Every structure is written in C-alpha cells, then in structure tokens.
Chain A
Amino acid sequence: GENVEQHPSTLSVQEGDSAVIKCTYSDSASNYFPWYKQELGKRPQLIIDIRSNVGEKKDQRIAVTLNKTAKHFSLHITETQPEDSAVYFCAASMGNTDKLIFGTGTRLQVFP
C-alpha cells in the first residue's frame, strides 16, 4: 500500500540557520504533496503544498521541492525563527482518491 517515510525525526538548529526535512513516497500515482505544521496540543495546519506538475514552490521563507523520478520531496525553511519550532508532517495524496497519507513527523527545535 501507500507509504510515506520522513527524515529526520528530530532536528535542532540555531536561529537564522536553514532546516531541511525530507520525505519519500511509495506510490508513483501520488500527485499532491502538502506539508503540515503542528504545534503542541494544536491541530495540523497546512503551510505549503506542491502538485506533481511542479518541481519547486516557494512562499517567503518556506520552499518545497519535488523529484518525481526519485519519489522524493523536501521542505526547506530558511532564516529559521523560534516560532518555527513545531512538528512538521509531510503527506502524499493520489488524485483519483484524495487519500492523504502522512509521514511520521519531524520535531524541529529552533534555539535562539
């Protein structure tokens, strides 16, 4: 079945540094890749997404890249700030079902 692997499970960076989180997916039919941020005790919230017809997308300090051949996609956060500290989840979805499968999460800590 569909599977999404996410690495690393934890990531600590100094404020101002960049952070990169990587995911791989198993189903080549996946065509939508959202990233969610979940703060402690709160609901997951979408921060950026990318569709399979695009290789890269950027929104201010956040960017996502997609390599369909390798079935990899990554989240890049530049100029990290303490408020970026949270758990980040990648996900993959197939267009014909909208079935949204999540990765295991990355706990990002940004130290001042």
Chain B
Amino acid sequence: EAGVAQSPRYKIIEKRQSVAFWCNPISGHATLYWYQQILGQGPKLLIQFQNNGVVDDSQLPKDRFSAERLKGVDSTLKIQPAKLEDSAVYLCASSLVWQTNTEAFFGQGTRLTVV
C-alpha cells in the first residue's frame, strides 16, 4: 500500500513569515497525527484528528499554529508567523482505526528551517 505522503520535504523561511505543510495519509486511515521533532528529541504530538474532528490539540501553540483535515482525508498544518524555535521536522502519521491502538505509519516529514 502507498505510504503517508508529505510535502514539501524541505522549507526555509524567514522568521515572521508563514508556511504550510501538507499530508496525505494512507487511504482509509481514520486517525491522523501531526508531530514536531526538534533535532535530537522525540516527536512531540501537536494535534490528532479522528476523521475530520480534532481529538487532541493540547500541545498545539494555537496563537501561531493551525491545522485542518477537510473531508477526513488530507490535512494541512500552518504556522503564522514563524519563530526561530519552530525549526524542526514536522511529521505526519496515520493509523487505521481509532481506539484500537494500531500501528501509526509516518511520512518522511518536512524539515523546516526558520532563519
């Protein structure tokens, strides 16, 4: 089966600019996650969707980050305005069925550098 697709792979922006990341999960996967992985650290959950509804966004900096999952398929994560500390790899993951603890499959990630 096709994996989780993310774009772009790399992005360099200046601080205070805005940026958007796109994720296409594995077909049929109900749960979608966005993680932020700062260099040398573990993935930090930003937001979790179940179909097109938000399950958890407690760690999402809502003053600058936003995410949506229209029609319960693709998702976009936006940062506006970006700060230097947002430099990280943004990973999207999806899993098949909610509330059954199934494997989460990760995309290749988008490496964001804020200068």
Residue in contact with B48 in the complex, picked from A43, A96, A98, A104, CB distance below 8 Å: A98
Q: Which residue of A lies closest to B59 (CB)?
A: A1
Q: Which residue of A lies closest to B98 (CB)?
A: A98
B108 and A42 contacting across the interface, CB-CB below 8 Å: yes
The reply on A101 being an interface residue by CB < 8 A is yes
The reply on A22 being an interface residue by CB < 8 A is no
- Give B residues with C-beta under 8 Å from A: 31, 33, 35, 40-45, 48, 50, 55-56, 58, 91, 93, 95, 98-101, 103-109
The 16 listed contacts between A and B (C-beta, < 8 Å) are A1-B58, A43-B108, A44-B91, A44-B106, A45-B106, A51-B101, A89-B43, A95-B100, A96-B99, A97-B48, A98-B100, A98-B101, A99-B48, A101-B45, A102-B35, A102-B42
- Give A residues with C-beta under 8 Å from B: 1, 4, 6, 31-32, 34, 36, 42-46, 49, 51, 89, 93, 95-105
